[in-house]
Amino acid sequence: MNISLTGRHVDLTDAIKEHMTTSIETLSKYNMDIISIGVVATAQTKKTKEFMMVEFAIHLSHKNSIIIKQSDEDLYVAIDLAIARAQKAMRRSHDRGTQHQKIGLNEIKHETNGGINLSEAQEALEDEIVPVELSLYKPREVEDVLQELKDSTKLFDIFIDNEGKTRVLYKRNDARFGLY
């Protein structure tokens, strides 16, 4: 793991460098194959208020890089906050890789089907055709539909009358019936 420590408008003392390296070493516990870590500490002034900004660029093999920017009035606090955020990001990335089982799609299909070959079952079903008559498309008398609507709790019924028109018989609020 290559570590690059850079200071912009900040002198990196030995104590700051040691604090950064010991904080960075805590990231190795996630076993994420860290290629390099670049740390840039910057002193900035905004509206006559001086603050420190720390940027971590963590480059992982076979994964996306993790970039974390953190600012605070104290450089040590900014480093600690950035490392905490980096640990959280590394933990999430590590958990994504380890918690998901590496099972192929075919094995999952086989387990869920109980060993039944779906292609053979589908071919067996293709040969069988079952005709079904729908009662919705049979012509019905308005009086029959009215009697069914009175006996049921439905508010309306859609049907085809003897003339081939699609009709709607519905209950009105005044306890009468309407017909479209």
> Structure pTM?
0.53
* Average pLDDT taken over every residue of the chain: 83
Checking if the pLDDT of 44 tops 80, the result is yes
- In terms of domains, do 89 and 154 share one? no
Is residue 159 domain-resident?
Answer: yes
For residue 152, the domain's CATH number is 3.30.505.50
| Cα–Cα distance measured from residue 146 to residue 169, given in angstroms and rounded to the nearest whole number | 7
Q: Each residue of 120-149: pLDDT tens digit?
A: 777 766 666 667 666 656 788 888 889 988
Is residue 31 domain-resident?
Answer: yes
Q: How much is the pLDDT for 43? A: 92
Burial class (CB in 10 A: 0-12, 13-18, 19+), 91: middle
- Residue 167 belongs to what domain range? 135-179
